[in-house]
Amino acid sequence: MKTWMTGLCLAVALGSATGAAADAVTEAGVVSGAREGGLSVYKGIPFAAPPLGELRWREPQPVAPWRGVRPARDFAPACMQAGVSMPGEIPPKVSEDCLYLNVWTPARRPTERLPVLVWIYGGGFTNGSGAMPLYWGDQLARRGVVVVTFNYRVGALGFMAHPELTLESPHHASGNYGLQDQVAALQWVRRNIQAFGGDPGRVAIAGQSAGAASVSLLMASPLAKGLFQHAIGESGGVFEPLGLAPQYRLAHAQDDGVALARSLGVDTVAQLRALPAERLVGGKADELAHPVIDDYVLTAGPYEVFAHQGQSLVPLLVGSNADEARSLATHVGETRAASYDADTRKRWGPLPAALIDAYPHATDDQARAARLGFERDLRFGWDDWAWARLQAAAGAPVYYYHFAHAPPFPPGSVYAGWGPSHFSELWYVFDHLDQEPTWRWTASDRRVARLMAGYWTNFVKTGDPNGPGLPTWPRYQGGDADVLHFGDDVAVGGVANLDKLKVFDGVYAQLRGAH
C-alpha cells in the first residue's frame, strides 16, 4: 500500500514533468511554488508552529506535517507590529501566526547544492517583514545563490521576559523568542534547503540594522553554532558595554515584563496570554524589544564573547553608511548650539564630556552636524568598527566597507535629503534600483549596484567578496586602513570618522573596566 509521502513524491515528479509547478519535498510535506523570471519561488512556507495561545512566549515548536501539496505562492503576514520598519514602506498585513519563510532559487534540480543567503530584516526589533519587496531575492538568486527571507517575532511578543516565563522554561530563561525564531529558521534551512537546490554546508546569514544586530547576536549565541559559515552585517551590531544597557540583563528585563503586565491591567502570564495580540504591540510594549542576556540564547554580551573568541569564527563582511542618522534623527533642523549639551544628555542619558566635546557645536549649523555625527557613530559606526576589529583579532577573514554613495532620492519624497543614510545601501545590495523606476538612476548608480551585488554574492559563495570584474577588496586586518569605500567610485581607504570612533572606544573601555 502506498504511503501518503509516496503519493506526494509521485505528485512532485508529475508536477515537475509537466512544468505545471515547481514543487519541493520538505520534512513536513510538499510545497508548490511558482516560476518567476527563470527562478523557482516559494512563499509562505512554515518553519515553526504558529506561536498562538499557550505557545505565545515559548520557543518555536515543530511544524505539524500536512498531506497533499501545500501551495507556497503567497507571502504570509508579518508578525504583530505597529507601524513600518522604514519610511515609505507600505504597512504589512500582520498576524500572530507569522513564522513562515520564502525561498528564491535558480536551481533546476535539488542536486545542485548552491550557496545560500539567509536575510534577517531590520526594524529595531519592533517591525519588519521577510516579504518586504526591497528584500526579495530575485536579482541575487540570478547570480547563483539561493535566497531565503523569513519572519521572526518582534516587540514584546518577541522579546518580553517575565519571572513566570523564566520559571516555566526548561532553560530557566525568558525573552529572546525572536532570536530563537531566527535559530529555528536556520535549523530549517539546515534540514530542508537541499530540496531547493541549496547547500546546507554553505549558508551565509546577513542583515541590516536590527538584522545586522541579530547577526552579531547569532555569532555570539551557542544555539547558532554551526548553522552558518559566513556572516554579513550592514549598519548594526550589539557591542556597547552592558553598563549602558542594563535592560539587557535578565533580572532587569523581567522587571520590565512585570511592569508591562501591570500597565495592561493583568498580573499573570496566563492573563497576558489571554489578551488580544493587538494590545501587545506599540507604545510601552515596544520598549521591551531588545535582546536579553538569559544564559541560554545569550550567555554574555557579544563584546565579551568576541573578546574571549567564543563567537562563530566565520568570515565577516561588515560596514556602515556615511550619514546613517539622516533618516532617523527627527527634528534635526531644530537643533541649536545653546541647548545642544542638555538636549543630547536628555535624549541619551548621562554622557561623559569627552563624547559631547568630540563633536564641535559652537554654532547652530555645527550643532546640527554634531547631532547627526554623534548618532551615526553611537548607533552604528562604533559597533561595526568594533565588530570588524574583534573578528579580525580572532583570525577570521574580515571585509570592512563604508557606504558613501547618495541615491537619487526624489525631492518631495519621504526620502528627500537622506543621502547615504541608514537603509540607503539596500537598493544597491539587492540590485533593486528598478523597483523605483521613476528615480533618476545614473550610470554610477548602476555600477555601484552591480559591484555591491557582485561582492555580496561572491562572499555568500566563498567567504571572499572578490571575483572577476570587481576592484580588489583587501582583507581588513584590524588597523586603520583596508576599508572599501563605496562612493561615486569604489576605492580602498582608511576607517571613516576614526578620530570620533576612538573617543567612543576610550569611553567604552573605561566603562567596561568599571564593571
Q: Check whether residue 136 and residue 243 sit in a common domain.
A: yes
Confidence of residue 514 (pLDDT cuts 50, 70, 90): low
CA-to-CA dists, residue 259 to 181, 244, 253, 266, 496, angstroms:
25, 21, 10, 10, 41
Measure the CA dihedral 487/493/496/498, to 10°. -170
Q: Check whether residue 306 and residue 320 sit in a common domain.
A: no
Whether 119 maps to a domain, the answer reads: yes
Q: What distance in Å separates the CA atoms of residue 454 and residue 466, rounded to the nearest whole number?
A: 8
Q: Check whether residue 364 and residue 309 sit in a common domain.
A: no
User: Is-contact 202 115, C-beta < 8 A?
Assistant: yes
pLDDT at 243 over 90: no
pLDDT mean over 333-344? 92
Tell me the percentage of the chain whose pLDDT exceeds 70. Answer: 96
Measure the CA dihedral 346/350/354/355, to 10°. -50
Q: Check whether residue 399 and residue 302 sit in a common domain.
A: no
Chain-centre distance for alpha carbon 469? 29
Q: Check whether residue 212 and residue 105 sit in a common domain.
A: yes
pLDDT at 18 over 50: no
Confidence of residue 277 (pLDDT cuts 50, 70, 90): very high
Those residues whose C-beta lies under 8 Å from the C-beta of residue 331, and which sit 6 or more positions away, are none
- Which residue pairs, CB below 8 angstroms and at least 24 apart, start in 190-194? 190/227, 191/27, 192/26, 192/27, 193/103, 193/116, 193/146, 193/148, 194/110, 194/113
> Residue 254: exposed, middle, or buried by beta-carbon count in 10 A (0-12, 13-18, 19+)?
buried
Place of cell 565579551: 304
pLDDT mean over 361-370? 96
Q: Report the SS3 class of residue 69.
A: strand
pLDDT mean over 246-274? 97
> Residue 383: exposed, middle, or buried by beta-carbon count in 10 A (0-12, 13-18, 19+)?
buried
Confidence of residue 101 (pLDDT cuts 50, 70, 90): very high
Domain of residue 252, residue span: 29-314
Whether 1 maps to a domain, the answer reads: no
Those residues whose C-beta lies under 8 Å from the C-beta of residue 478, and which sit 6 or more positions away, are 388, 389, 392, 393, 398
Average of per-residue pLDDT values in the chain? 94
> Which of 286, 314, 342 corresponds to the end of one domain?
314
Q: Check whether residue 336 and residue 210 sit in a common domain.
A: no
Q: Check whether residue 80 and residue 66 sit in a common domain.
A: yes
pLDDT at 2 over 80: no
Q: Check whether residue 179 and residue 75 sit in a common domain.
A: yes
Measure the CA dihedral 69/70/74/76, to 10°. -170
pLDDT mean over 252-262? 98
The predicted pLDDT at position 332 comes to 85
Tell me the pTM: 0.95
> Which of 314, 335, 366 corresponds to the end of one domain?
314
The predicted pLDDT at position 13 comes to 35
Whether 15 maps to a domain, the answer reads: no
Whether 3 maps to a domain, the answer reads: no
pLDDT mean over 234-239? 97
In CATH, what number is assigned to the domain containing residue 387? 3.40.50.1820
Query: What is the widest separation between alpha-carbon atoms in the chain?
Result: 84
Whether 16 maps to a domain, the answer reads: no
Whether 23 maps to a domain, the answer reads: no
Q: Check whether residue 343 and residue 465 sit in a common domain.
A: yes
Those residues whose C-beta lies under 8 Å from the C-beta of residue 14, and which sit 6 or more positions away, are none
The predicted pLDDT at position 6 comes to 34
C-alpha cell at 127: 517591525
The predicted pLDDT at position 11 comes to 35
CA-to-CA dists, residue 86 to 207, 323, 333, 421, angstroms:
14, 16, 20, 12
Confidence of residue 307 (pLDDT cuts 50, 70, 90): very high
Confidence of residue 4 (pLDDT cuts 50, 70, 90): very low
Q: Across-strand partners of 495?
A: none
Tell me the percentage of the chain whose pLDDT exceeds 90. Answer: 89
User: Which of these, 492, 503, 477, 469, lies nearest to 143 by C-alpha position?
Assistant: 469
C-alpha cell at 463: 567567504
Q: Check whether residue 323 and residue 303 sit in a common domain.
A: no
504 φ, ψ (degrees, to nearest 5): -55, -40
Helices of type H across 430-482: 443-462
Q: Check whether residue 320 and residue 211 sit in a common domain.
A: no
Instruction: Indicate which residues carry an active-site annotation.
Output: 209, 324, 422
Q: Check whether residue 296 and residue 365 sit in a common domain.
A: no
Confidence of residue 330 (pLDDT cuts 50, 70, 90): confident
The predicted pLDDT at position 515 comes to 56
Chain-centre distance for alpha carbon 384? 14
Which sign does the torsion angle of CA 214, 220, 226, 229 carry?
Answer: positive
Q: What distance in Å separates the CA atoms of residue 360 and residue 363, rounded to the nearest whole number?
A: 8
Which of 5-14, 44-53, 137-146 comes out lowest in average pLDDT? Answer: 5-14
Whether 8 maps to a domain, the answer reads: no
Centre a 10 Å sphere on the Cβ of residue 213 and count the other Cβ atoms it contains: 26
> Which of 262, 284, 314 corresponds to the end of one domain?
314
Q: How many residues does the chain have?
A: 515
Which of 63-67, 95-99, 289-293, 342-346 comes out lowest in average pLDDT? Answer: 342-346
Confidence of residue 17 (pLDDT cuts 50, 70, 90): very low
pLDDT at 5 over 50: no
Which of 72-81, 242-251, 300-309 comes out lowest in average pLDDT? Answer: 242-251
Q: What is the pLDDT of residues 471-487, one digit of tens each?
A: 999 999 999 999 999 99
CA-to-CA dists, residue 405 to 215, 378, 399, 445, angstroms:
24, 21, 18, 8
CA-to-CA dists, residue 489 to 75, 332, 406, 486, angstroms:
37, 29, 11, 6
pLDDT at 352 over 70: yes
Those residues whose C-beta lies under 8 Å from the C-beta of residue 96, and which sit 6 or more positions away, are 50, 51, 52, 56, 79, 80, 157, 277
CA-to-CA dists, residue 253 to 115, 173, 180, 224, 277, angstroms:
38, 11, 17, 22, 20
The predicted pLDDT at position 423 comes to 96
Q: What distance in Å separates the CA atoms of residue 217 and residue 306, rounded to the nearest whole number?
A: 10
Q: What distance in Å separates the CA atoms of residue 164 and residue 249, rounded to the nearest whole number?
A: 16
Q: What is the pLDDT of residues 424-460, one digit of tens each?
A: 999 999 999 999 999 999 999 999 999 999 999 999 9
pLDDT at 110 over 60: yes
Give residue 437's identity as a one-letter amino acid code. Answer: P
Task: Name the domain count of the chain.
Answer: 2
Q: What distance in Å separates the CA atoms of residue 237 and residue 217, rounded to the nearest whole number?
A: 8
The predicted pLDDT at position 7 comes to 33
Q: What is the pLDDT of residues 27-42, one digit of tens each?
A: 999 999 999 999 999 9
pLDDT at 14 over 50: no
pLDDT mean over 396-423? 96
Q: Across-strand partners of 400?
A: 318, 483
C-alpha cell at 452: 555591491
Q: 12 or 183, which is more confident? A: 183
176: left (phi over 0), alpha (psi -120 to 50) or beta: left
Whether 20 maps to a domain, the answer reads: no
